[in-house]
Amino acid sequence: MTIPFQEKPMLDETDETVIRRVMRDARPGASAQSARPRRASEKLAWTLPGFCANARVQTSFGHVPIEALRPHDPVRTKAGDYLAVAWVDRIQLDAEFLMLHPAAYPVRLPAGCIDRGVPCRDILLSTAQVLHLPHRTGANARCTAATLVGRRRIRREAVPSLTYFMFHCGRPATVWVDGLWVDTAPD
């Protein structure tokens, strides 16, 4: 027995129309407006902390590149104890995203730009990463990497693409990364 061939109708919708329709139908209450892509003129505030590859995290078994960090690895805290990493995440940003959203470009902290040996080597990190500054107390002790741009050779760095690595210890903690004390906190 032969089954007759049935030609499927050609779609005449544009990709954007299809995406809007799928997004509208996929989430109750979602509008087609929320599915539209951002335009270059729309500002994106980058709020995610993180580090680029090769940042070294102090663990109980030495300094480990952040990209090699795994759940349950014990990381050193400012309090002097070690906390187990609860989870590690990576966020990959391609050239198109970075071109449209330059707020996501990382900050380069050159070795020794904050204090003698702090950081202990050049490091790239998110503008939203919270740092603890040595020899400071109170409200001045903590700042985001973005607030340091323009001081002592600290600058934003335009890169063609990048991956931010984030990790959390299941509770707020201050941990050692390349000679800097930095905050991690669960979402």
| Tens-place pLDDT, residues 82-91 | 999 999 999 9
Tokens 């210890």 appear where?
169
Highest mean pLDDT among 3-7, 100-104, 138-142: 100-104
pLDDT per residue as tens digits for the range 76-111: 999 999 999 999 999 999 999 999 999 999 999 999
pLDDT per residue as tens digits for the range 66-77: 999 999 999 999
8-state DSSP, 180: E
Give the pLDDT of residue 34: 45
Give the pLDDT of residue 36: 52
Give the pLDDT of residue 135: 80
pLDDT per residue as tens digits for the range 20-66: 665 565 545 444 444 455 555 566 788 999 999 999 999 999 999 99
User: Is 136 in a helix, a strand, or coil?
Assistant: coil
8-state DSSP, 175: E
- Distances in Å between the Cα of 143 and the Cα atoms of 7, 130, 131, 139 are 62, 5, 5, 8
Give the pLDDT of residue 134: 85
Does pLDDT of 138 surpass 80? no
Report the alpha-carbon angle 93-31-12, nearest 5.
Answer: 85
The mean pLDDT value of the chain amounts to 83
Give the pLDDT of residue 1: 52
Give the pLDDT of residue 9: 45
